[in-house]
A = this chain, B = another copy of it.
Amino acid sequence: MRLTILGCYAATPRTLTNPTAQVLEINGHIILIDCGEGTQVELRRRKIKFSRINHIFISHLHGDHFFGLPGLISTMRLLGREKELHVYGPKGIKEAITLLLKLGDSWTNYPLLFHELASKEPELVFEDKKISVTTIPLDHRIYTNGFLFKEKEGKRKLNIDAAQNYGIDKAYYQNIKNGKDITLDNGETILNKELTFDPPKPKSYAFCSDTVYDTNLSEQLKGVDVLYHESTFLESEAELATKTKHSTALQAAKIAKAANVKTLVLGHYSTRYKSIELFKEEATTIFSNVLLADDGRAFDF
């Protein structure tokens, strides 16, 4: 699982800071999460092929999280895209994008499929053999969802040494990989688990931005491997955080601790602070495994 931060600063794009957008590579999928202005340029800068992105998840309709989407959708048309693009986001996103394309007489020549979200309860919005994606309802100034991405458990791996020890012919290896038990010539049945290794433990990633500090979140986030939780402010601006429905680094750490996640990634920083290291310092006072998102930074989990 690889997370590439295209942008992780609050509010407006600047010469040195990009608004929110990130790419999650998970079990063969390449997923774009949020799409602030300039995202298509950052995708190019990070050499991520537009054609490999089939799913885009938009948390909410503030400009710093989706004003790059019309441009990206238009560019995909210019690049000759033919396959489906799925966009998940708050109700209204379809009307907005459709209007912009209509005004430019620039309909996509690929299927552009919107999945509009309106529920205030978590809902499964995508699932295939590899992953599932569930919304994480967040409390922000407008309707907002985080997203919980979970790998599905993979197939068990063949234990070649064990198979050879039992004298099993290679012709049966595919059956073993498919989970079948094997009956030897002598009639003895060897259970599949004797012939295979456990598959890698499925990984999970939760994206939570933008949100006020909400202790209820920890329930749905219980045990996730990686939690990206916004930390627009430090505790010195805790009041401002509450007022604008954002969180502080300390609050993000409290959520991470209560949910017992493995790794906390901080981001969505206000540009008022001298250094983003201050966010890490604050969070690590109560949760040890903290990573700092930064534009262009990639993490492998």
User: Which residues in A have some Cβ–Cβ distance to B below 8 Å?
Assistant: 11-15, 37-38, 40-41, 44-45, 61-63, 67-68, 70-71, 74-75, 78, 90, 92-93, 95-96, 99-100, 103-106, 141-142
Partner of A62, one of B67, B104, B142: B104
CA distance A229 to B15 in the complex (A): 29
Question: Which B residues lie within 8 Å of A63 (CB)?
Answer: 70-71, 74, 100, 104, 106
Q: Give, as a whole number of angstroms, the nearest-CB distance from A41 to chain B.
A: 5
Is the Cβ of A105 less than 8 Å from the Cβ of B142? yes
Say yes or no: A12-B75 contact (C-beta < 8 A), given A37-B37, A105-B141: yes
CA distance A38 to B67 in the complex (A): 10
| Identical copies of this chain, number | 2
Partner of A71, one of B13, B15, B74: B13
Partner of A38, one of B41, B78, B96, B99: B41
Is the Cβ of B12 less than 8 Å from the Cβ of A40? yes
Can you list the 8 inter-chain pairs with the closest CB atoms, starting with the nearest? A61-B103, A12-B75, A37-B71, A63-B74, A92-B103, A67-B71, A62-B104, A105-B142
Q: Give, as a whole number of angstroms, the nearest-CB distance from A117 to chain B.
A: 13
- Would you list 29 pairs from A and B whose C-beta atoms are within 8 A, ordered by A residue? A11-B75, A11-B78, A12-B74, A12-B75, A13-B41, A14-B41, A14-B44, A15-B41, A37-B37, A37-B38, A37-B40, A37-B71, A38-B41, A61-B103, A61-B104, A63-B71, A63-B100, A63-B104, A67-B70, A67-B71, A93-B103, A95-B99, A96-B99, A96-B100, A96-B103, A103-B142, A104-B142, A105-B141, A105-B142
Is the Cβ of A12 less than 8 Å from the Cβ of B71? yes
Partner of A15, one of B45, B61, B74, B103: B45
* Minimal Cβ-Cβ distance residue in B for A73: B63
CA distance A45 to B14 in the complex (A): 8
Q: Give, as a whole number of angstroms, the nearest-CB distance from A25 to chain B.
A: 21
Q: Give, as a whole number of angstroms, the nearest-CB distance from A78 to chain B.
A: 6
CA distance A129 to B103 in the complex (A): 34
Q: Give, as a whole number of angstroms, the nearest-CB distance from A80 to chain B.
A: 13
